Amino acid sequence: MGEVFTGRYELVDLLGAGGMGAVWRVWDHRDATYRAAKVLRQSDSVSLLRFVRESSWRVEHPHVLMPQGRAGEDERVLFTMPVVRGGSLETVIADHGTVDPAWAAIVVDQVLQALAAVHANGIVHRDVKPANILLEPTGSHRPHAWLSDFGIAVSAEDARLTRAHEVVGTRRYQPPEAAAGAEPAPAQDLYAVGLVLRETVGDRPESAALVERLCGPAQDRPSAVEARAGLAAIAWDRSDVEELVEVFEQLPELPDGWAADGPRAGARHAPLRPAAPPQVASPRTPPAPAPPARAGARRAGRRIRPELALAAVLALGGVALLVGAVLAL
């Protein structure tokens, strides 16, 4: 069988790797379900404090994705989240460019719902961007989005854990006041939403006023609730839309010996070697062939490219900064 953390989380297959650790699909023996897990190496005390703080937050919302469990053994720590199988909004933008505005409006509205709940709990996300907006594989049906990666989020009641000269968040989505060193505030998340909306639907005139408000001066930006109202008031013109967005399953097939309900009886899984650094497939490895088109599909969008499939899982990567020194204390 595969390596098991604390008698509960069995590592199934490697989905990706980065400088601070690796992302695995794991089988949760206690809850009998698959989860995504970030396996991390030791880091510094600031990373530990960030992880402890994030792990203590509980925002229960259908569009907020936060860590659910954690475990530590030897020199490593892992934390788990639900597996989100449809990639990210970044994948959609990369594959389609601008997309159907009605579809985009649903996704952005769900992000605003998530931010309204997060802000109501006194938390500022600080890294809202397409790569951190994960999607369920809903096909051409109504999309379901999750706001993920709270690795650099802060609470107004907590001390800031930012080192001098440390770049926090993604510069492209930072408002001017954040780049200038202003204290974190919900309005900074709304600025990022404005950029996400513009990237997703393009420079459409019907959304220009809302984007301008979201990306304007901090004191003039709407709250998440107000932005939802502004988004709902837009009458989107779909007459120039050539294709709809279709979100497919993005994770690879389960390895031999594993099934939808867990490990097959009697299957022998190769033991893992913890000392070896995680490896990822060469970029030259050809992607798996696309599944055949579904009969009767109407105006289906292009299948999101498999080589971008790990974007959703690797969105956990930013949270790698949260965990490292658990076992060093």
> Which ranges of 143-290 does DSSP label H, i.e. alpha helix?
176-179, 186-201, 205-214, 224-232
150 and 36 within one domain = no
pLDDT tens column, 229-242: 999 999 887 766 55
**pLDDT at position 271 over 60:** no
**Type of residue found at 292:** P
Residue 158, domain extent: 89-232
Q: Over 60: is that where the pLDDT of 101 sits? A: yes
- The reply to whether 308 falls in a domain is no
Last residue of a domain, one of 203, 232, 261: 232
**Count of domains observed in the chain:** 2
Residues 49 and 143 in one domain: no
Contacts of 138 by beta carbon, 8 Å cutoff, 6+ apart: 86, 144, 247
Please tell me whether residues 143 and 222 are part of one structural domain: yes
Report in angstroms the alpha-carbon separations of 22 from 6, 45, 75, 149: 18, 20, 14, 15
CB 99 within 8 A of CB 245: yes
- 93 shares a domain with 223: yes
- Residue 2: pLDDT over 80: no
Catalytic positions, written as ranges: 127
* 47 and 174 fall within a common domain: no
> Which element (helix H / strand E) includes 54?
helix 45-56
Mean pLDDT value across residues 152-160: 71
Q: Look at 168 and 13; give whichever has higher pLDDT.
A: 13
Return d(Cα 146, Cα 134) in angstroms, integer.
Answer: 5
Looking at the structure, tell me whether residues 59 and 168 fall in a common domain: no
The H or E element that residue 117 is part of is: helix 101-120
Half-sphere exposure of 106 (CA within 13 A, CB side): 12
Q: Residue written as tokens 């594993």? A: 258
pLDDT band with cut points at 50, 70 and 90 for residue 306: very low
Q: What does the pLDDT read at residue 214?
A: 98
Indicate whether 210 and 269 sit together in one domain.
no
Same-domain status, 180 and 222: yes
Residues in the chain: 329
Instruction: Give the containing element (helix H, strand E) for 91.
Output: helix 89-96
